[in-house]
Amino acid sequence: MLADKYNIEQAISLRRAPLAQIEEVQLVLLKRHLLHALSIPFYKKALGIGKKEIEALSSVAELSQLPFTTREQLDSHADAFGLRNERAFRDIALTSGTTGNAVVVPYTEADLKRLAFNEAMAFYGAGVRPEDRVLLTVTLDRCFVAGLAYYSGITFLGASAIRSGPGQPARQWHTINTLKPKIIVGVPTFLRDLGQWALAEGIDPATSSIKSIITIGESVRQPDHGLTPLGAQLHDLWQADLYSSYGATEFETAFSECTMARGGHVHPELMLVEVVDDHGRVVADGVSGEVVVTPLGIEGFPLVRLKTGDISRLENSPCACGWNTKRLGPVEGRLAQRLKYKGTTLYPETIFNILQKVEAVSGAYVEVRTGADGIDDVHVVVGCDDKALDKKFEEMLQAQLRVKPTLTVLPPEQVKATMTADGGRKPRKFFDYR
């Protein structure tokens, strides 16, 4: 057992241990987590087992016998989740509300340390070291936990954080030129725009101090780990190593790529991950399905088998970085956004990846309604100053999707206004009117 599960040297040793040894540690942590979950009103009723059954667990695989937690339950039974001890809380975060109502997620002092350790290990895996400077172009306000997590992780690791925040390209480049950070963290589309702004101003991003880019919030990898068009644009602009991360406020943990960029490593002392099919059955490693997470060691907002709604796959092959932990592949889509269109199953993310190949595209969103025949009616809205490109967009979509959705080209500022009209933290790219 780890003497201190938040010690970086011990954590590295655990990640290099045989998988059987890793699972022994995880079993102890799982039992501890489930016992704590029994103190939460929702799980006291819903878990279906007691202290005796928990202590009798002999394998982490037995987790699959427990019931799922759904996002709908988080919405409809919000008061039944979370620790009942207001004096223990040190921070209150809110989820983005992308797929439902924003959920209140309280953090205790121990949860904040866990959060910092998670990101410290993520940064370490991506090659960040104590002597490095990291530019954060994400917000630390508006109850947004990712910015706080990144900042805490950088300082936990012993590196230097530069809290620049989002927006204002001129200010960002002044910061880069003055403080010379080695790593930049941000949303891919913003970092692309930041690089394009620099080129227009006679600045070559490839000659800057930035050597690594860590992305948040948007996909930059294909299922085969190759770069998406957006990821390729980032790499071409900055000529920097590119690493993606995936996480969510409610499960207080992130999966981040190491320097091999072959999937996000699962932090073994912080998370158990399953991938299940449409019937809730665990699928084999390498098979895509819905990601189910059980974050370990959380005090304020413990969860058991949360169905994330995200589609991905687990990979269990040895990683060249030397860590033996499982890895989560790129997110391939969201169950709630799965579309059935003219006999074809598709996800909006696939549409966006196709459109990103055209440099003139500046934003896009998808609307879906139920047609008169009961089938999904898909409408793609593209932000572009050249309306004459509509035929090209239609041909590209038809060639790669094998179907041709309805498509409209609008001025980029109008598209952006629609995507940000609800005032959320993330631009809205999918409008479901079914």
| Residue 45 confidence (pLDDT) | 93
What integer is the mean pLDDT of 103-113?
A: 94
Confidence band of 340 (pLDDT split at 50, 70, 90): confident
Nearest to 167 by CA among 201, 136, 204, 208: 136
Backbone φ and ψ for 318, nearest 5 degrees, come out as -55, 140
Strand partners, 163: 136
Angle at 298 between CA 292 and CA 302, to 5 degrees: 55
| Residue 95 confidence (pLDDT) | 84
What integer is the mean pLDDT of 323-348?
A: 90
Q: Are 153 and 201 in contact (CB under 8 A)?
A: no
| Residue 64 confidence (pLDDT) | 97
pLDDT tens track for 214-224: 999 888 999 99
Distances in Å between the alpha carbon of 430 and those of 14, 85, 380, 423, 434? Answer: 40, 37, 10, 15, 12
Interatomic CA distance for residues 247 and 137, integer angstroms: 17
- Average pLDDT of the chain to the nearest whole number: 93
The percent of residues above 70 in pLDDT, for the chain, comes to 97
Q: Are 150 and 138 in contact (CB under 8 A)?
A: yes
Q: Which two tokens stand for residue 54?
A: 């928990």
| Residue 386 confidence (pLDDT) | 94
| Residue 99 confidence (pLDDT) | 54
Interatomic CA distance for residues 91 and 125, integer angstroms: 27
| Residue 15 confidence (pLDDT) | 97
Give the start-end residues of each E strand in 52-119.
89-94, 104-108
Name residues whose C-beta falls within 8 Å of residue 96's C-beta, 6 or more positions apart in sequence. 102, 144, 249, 424, 425, 426
Q: Are 38 and 50 in contact (CB under 8 A)?
A: yes
The yes-or-no verdict on residue 252 having pLDDT over 90 is yes
pLDDT tens track for 27-43: 999 999 999 999 999 99
Strand partners, 254: 247
From the centroid of its chain, how far is CA 121? 16
- Scanning 158-255, the segments in alpha helix (DSSP H) are 169-179, 188-200, 229-238
The yes-or-no verdict on residue 6 having pLDDT over 60 is yes
Got the DSSP string for 173-191?
HHHHHHH--SEEEE-HHHH
Q: Which CATH superfamily is domain 1-334 in?
A: ANL, N-terminal domain (3.40.50.12780)
| Residue 316 confidence (pLDDT) | 92
Nearest to 93 by CA among 252, 212, 229, 223: 252
| Residue 434 confidence (pLDDT) | 87
CATH number of the domain located at residue range(s) 338-432 in this protein: 3.30.300.30
Helix (H, G, I), strand (E, B) or coil at 248: strand
Q: Are 366 and 354 in contact (CB under 8 A)?
A: no
Interatomic CA distance for residues 430 and 367, integer angstroms: 6
Confidence band of 100 (pLDDT split at 50, 70, 90): low
Check residues 95 and 397 and name the one with the higher pLDDT: 397
Domain ranges of the chain: 1-334, 338-432
Backbone φ and ψ for 161, nearest 5 degrees, come out as -95, 135
pLDDT tens track for 403-422: 889 999 999 999 999 999 88
pLDDT tens track for 279-325: 999 999 999 999 999 999 999 999 999 999 999 999 998 899 999 99
Edge-to-edge order in the sheet of strand 406-410 = 406-410, 376-383, 364-370, 430-432
Check residues 396 and 341 and name the one with the higher pLDDT: 396
The yes-or-no verdict on residue 23 having pLDDT over 90 is yes
> Angle formed by the axes of helices 8-15 and 19-37, to 10°?
120
Pairing of strands 376-383, 406-410: parallel
Interatomic CA distance for residues 47 and 315, integer angstroms: 28
312: region left, alpha or beta (phi > 0 left; psi from -120 to 50 alpha): beta
Name residues whose C-beta falls within 8 Å of residue 175's C-beta, 6 or more positions apart in sequence. 135, 162, 164, 181
Can you give the length of the chain in residues?
434
The yes-or-no verdict on residue 369 having pLDDT over 80 is yes
Name residues whose C-beta falls within 8 Å of residue 318's C-beta, 6 or more positions apart in sequence. 324
What integer is the mean pLDDT of 42-49?
A: 94
Pairing of strands 333-334, 306-312: antiparallel
The yes-or-no verdict on residue 12 having pLDDT over 60 is yes
Beta-carbon neighbour count of residue 371 at 10 Å?
Answer: 12
| Residue 343 confidence (pLDDT) | 76
| Residue 423 confidence (pLDDT) | 75
Interatomic CA distance for residues 176 and 164, integer angstroms: 10
The yes-or-no verdict on residue 101 having pLDDT over 80 is no
